Each structure stands twice: as C-alpha cells, then as structure tokens.
Amino acid sequence: MLMGGCAGMVLSPRVAGAARVESNAFLRGAALRALLEEYDMLGEHRTAGPGDNATSAWLAGKFDRGGFETRLPSFGFDLFEPSRSELSLSGKSVTLFPAWPVVDTPLEGVTGSLVAHDASSVAGKIAVIALPYKPYATWAQPIYGEPVKSAIERGARAVIAITEGPTGEIIALNALPSRFNWTIPVLLAAEKDKPVLLDAVARGANATVFSLGHRTPNAKATNVLARRTGKGKTIVLSTPKSGWFHCASERGSGIAIFLGLAQWLARESSADLLCIATSGHEIDGTGGKAFLVENAPKPDQVRLWLHIGANVACNAIGFSGGLPVREPAPDVKRRITASAPLLDATRASFKGLQGYDEPVDAGSANAVGEALIFRDAHYSPILSPLGSSPLFHTRLDRSQFAATPEVLETVAHALASAIAQTALVP
C-alpha cells in the first residue's frame, strides 16, 4: 500500500478499508449507464469535430456542477470532415473511410486499374490490400502500415485497405503521422466488400476513388481539465474522450466511470484531484502529449495516476444473422496494468472479475495508448484498465450494444476499491 503524501486525509467510513461503496449514488449502474447514453448521443467524436467539441462542453458542465474548477486548454489540429469517401466500380459504389492524415482527391476522383498491393508493378494504379484482424486497430501494426507505405513508395496513385474483422464493417485505424504520413489517398474498406474488390483486382478493372471533405486548418481541439484542490499529493484520473465514430463502448464506458469516480472522490475524500479528458486519442494521443507539455503536474507531485483505457466496461457481443447481439455477461477479454506496488491491492479489488483479476506489471510490453505515454513520462504508480469489443472502431459501437448498468457498476466499484486501498490510506 502507498503511504506517502496521505497525511491529513479525511475519509468517510465507506471509503476506509477499501469498501466497495455499493451504496454510493455516483457509482450506481443506472447513473453510469445514463452518462454513457448521453455521451453516445453527442455524435461522432473525432478530434476537433462537432461531437468532440460538444463533449468538451458537456464534460465541463458536469465538472462545474460537481464543484471542480474546469478549464478547456486547446491545441491546434488540422480538421478534415469527410463528405464523400467511396470507390466507383462498374457503375457500383463501395463505401470507404479515409485514413488519417487524409489526402483528399480532386473532385473528379483518382482513376486507375485495381491491382494487388504486392504486384510486380503498382505505379499509376490503385493498390488493394487486405489487413488481417488485430485487436488493436492502429497503423502501428507492422503488417498494416509498412505494406501500404511500400505501395506508395512504388508509385501507387491510391491505396484501398480492406479491414478484416468480426463485424464485416470498416474498422478505422488510429493514425501515427510520425511514421505514416500519407502522400496519396489511403482509404479503408469493409471486409463485406472484399469479394467485390478482389474480383475487380483479378480482372484489373478500372475504378475511381473519391475522398472529399471540408478542411479547417489549425482548428482548435480541447482537452477538459478539472481540478479540486485538496490535501497531499495529487490523484490523477484520465481518459480519452475522442474517437472515430460514436464510441459508446470504446470511450463512453470509460467516460461514465471517469465522471462517477471523480464525483465519488470529491465527495468522500479530501484528496487533491486532477481529472483530464483528452482529445486527439485517435491521432497518436495528441491531446495527452499536449497535456504533459502544458498542464500536467510534476511526477513527484502525483500520488496515483488512474488512466481508463478503451472498452473498460463491456458486455460480450455475439452475432445472429450477421448482426451484433449484446449478451448478459461481461466481455472477459480485458486486462489491467499496474505499477508493481499496486499489484496486490489491484488483484484483491478485482477478485472474481475475469480478465481484470490478474493484473500485470505496467512494463514496456504491457502499457499501450496514453497509459504508455504517461508511464514513459515517469508517472508512477499508474493503474490502467483496458477492455476489448468486436465493435471497436466501427460505426456499430452504439449505446444499444454497450455495457449494461450491472457491468458498469461492477467495474466502477472495483476501481473505487483499488483507489481506496492504494491512494486513500490515512
């Protein structure tokens, strides 16, 4: 247990002894589920877009009413809002989605014959590649980014990447501009359109790619920073708020628990609290990096950093007739990483929660996303749960398939217990 920096902490009897706080209103499943649904209804959450900006205002209002001092620090971001992303082929249209950083086409599109990405010659043609399914949807996967980069270097006019996965839908991939800064249009296609595309490749058919939209250079993206001044070193709660589509499970479950834990801590302890919801997650964690540069406390001022990752609370998803069906039980393809001093307390707090009940050390091979960014900035101890969903990064990730109140409440209570045991020790 962590003892440093906690002198003078005032705790209620419910927090003392790391109780599960089942009676706390902020952590009740119905309240958390309502927050998830509100987040989903704000729209698609791409960085600096209307839904992301609406989310910043919504979160700021929640924190303001909860007695926090709230700010919206901004950072510049080149916004692209797609209006037409498709492939025209033999009079038929295949829906696409642009890969970031977006290179748009002329109004008339880009025309060329379709060819496999690894053909002997791709120069002047539209290269097509199928990307096998991986649980972390990012161009950082070597089998994703490198073959596309190779096709570009060999003269392709455009690239169509088919994203294979359990839903058959387009899976958006997180951008990594430092390694993959596209110089031609790169667009994503759904696995359900794979037969049509591969047949066209086999025939060497001509097609036209369209990637059109509205650009706003140096638009403003905002992080949400909420502070409640208290005693001792700071407890930091963080979670991303942006993503490709509605992100109800991916981001909404984490946002709901993030808000619940913040209000619980503000009400039940005198801890110094800093809550940060970052934009730019899908663009290489841009907002998290901006926060570290401009607004983060020094590492030696932090008592505990809880970073809530993607899909933190999800029900299992089955499929019936090709359509997703939410199952009663939680998805157990999940894990929690923790700094070594937190492992025992975390294991006890998550006992019985399959997947979360065996925390792993937050070493270099285990931390991902912003948790990796914060850990590499020497913040410790750090605790970060991360889940999985077959709807991840698809347009199907909506509230009707997202976590039930029971699943949300169970995860929230376990995290509250872990915080109490590791950071609220008198």
Same domain, yes or no, for 158 and 260? no
Q: What are the helix and strand counts (H, E) for the chain?
A: 9, 17
Which of these three, 195, 219, 243, is where a domain ends?
Answer: 219
141: exposed, middle or buried (Cβ count in 10 Å: 0-12, 13-18, 19+): middle
Same domain, yes or no, for 126 and 62? no
What's the start-to-end Cα distance of the chain, in Å? 11
What does the DSSP assignment read for 223-239? -EEEEE--EEEEEEEEE
Same domain, yes or no, for 404 and 263? yes
- Residue 148 to residues 1, 132, 187: CA-CA distances in angstroms? 48, 13, 11
Lowest mean pLDDT, pick from 9-18, 131-140, 377-386: 9-18
Q: Helix (H, G, I), strand (E, B), or coil: what is residue 194?
A: helix
**15 lies in some domain:** no
Same domain, yes or no, for 233 and 301? yes
- Residue 132 to residues 117, 137, 164, 247, 281: CA-CA distances in angstroms? 14, 11, 5, 22, 23
Same domain, yes or no, for 243 and 256? yes
Same domain, yes or no, for 255 and 395? yes
Decide if pLDDT at 5 tops 80. Answer: no
Cα–Cα distance, 66 to 175 (Å, whole number)? 34
Residue 351 pLDDT: 96
Residue 23 pLDDT: 53
Q: Which of 223, 225, 226 is nearest to 279 (CA)?
A: 223
Same domain, yes or no, for 187 and 292? no
Same domain, yes or no, for 85 and 202? yes
Residue 19 pLDDT: 42
Report the share of the chain in percent with pLDDT over 70: 93
**12 lies in some domain:** no
Q: How confident is the model at residue 115 (pLDDT cuts 50, 70, 90)?
A: very high
Report the share of the chain in percent with pLDDT over 90: 87
Which of these three, 201, 219, 237, is where a domain ends?
Answer: 219
For residues 46-64, average pLDDT: 98
For residues 403-422, average pLDDT: 96
- Do residues 334 and 392 make contact, with C-beta atoms less than 8 angstroms apart? no
Residue 11 pLDDT: 37
Number of domains in the chain: 2
Q: What contacts 65, CB < 8 A, 6 or more positions away?
A: none
What are the pLDDT digits (tens) for 178-231?
999 999 999 999 999 999 999 999 999 999 999 999 999 999 999 999 999 999
What mean pLDDT is reported for the chain? 93
- Do residues 157 and 208 make contact, with C-beta atoms less than 8 angstroms apart? no
Which of these three, 198, 219, 240, is where a domain ends?
Answer: 219
Instruction: Quote the radius of gyration of the chain (alpha carbons, Å).
Output: 22
214: exposed, middle or buried (Cβ count in 10 Å: 0-12, 13-18, 19+): exposed
**3 lies in some domain:** no
Lowest mean pLDDT, pick from 133-137, 194-198, 270-274, 326-330: 133-137
CATH code: domain of residue 209? 3.50.30.30
Domain that holds residue 165: 78-219
Same domain, yes or no, for 124 and 191? yes
**50 lies in some domain:** yes
Same domain, yes or no, for 65 and 85? no
- Residue 292 to residues 28, 31, 285, 377, 387: CA-CA distances in angstroms? 32, 31, 11, 8, 25
- Residue 10 to residues 272, 304, 399, 425: CA-CA distances in angstroms? 12, 17, 37, 10
Same domain, yes or no, for 53 and 184? no
Lowest mean pLDDT, pick from 44-58, 166-180, 368-382: 368-382
**14 lies in some domain:** no
Tell me the residue length of the chain: 426
**18 lies in some domain:** no
- CA–CA–CA angle 94, 98, 103 (5° rounding): 120
**16 lies in some domain:** no
- Do residues 172 and 45 make contact, with C-beta atoms less than 8 angstroms apart? no
For residues 63-91, average pLDDT: 96
- Do residues 95 and 259 make contact, with C-beta atoms less than 8 angstroms apart? no
CATH code: domain of residue 230? 3.40.630.10
Per the structure block, which two tokens stand in for 42? 């704000």
Decide if pLDDT at 290 tops 50. Answer: yes
Dihedral of the alpha carbons of 281, 284, 287, 291, in degrees to the nearest 10: 130
The strand pairing partners of 231, in sequence order, are 271
Same domain, yes or no, for 205 and 244? no
Q: How confident is the model at residue 161 (pLDDT cuts 50, 70, 90)?
A: very high
**157 lies in some domain:** yes
For residues 80-87, average pLDDT: 98
Decide if pLDDT at 364 tops 80. Answer: no
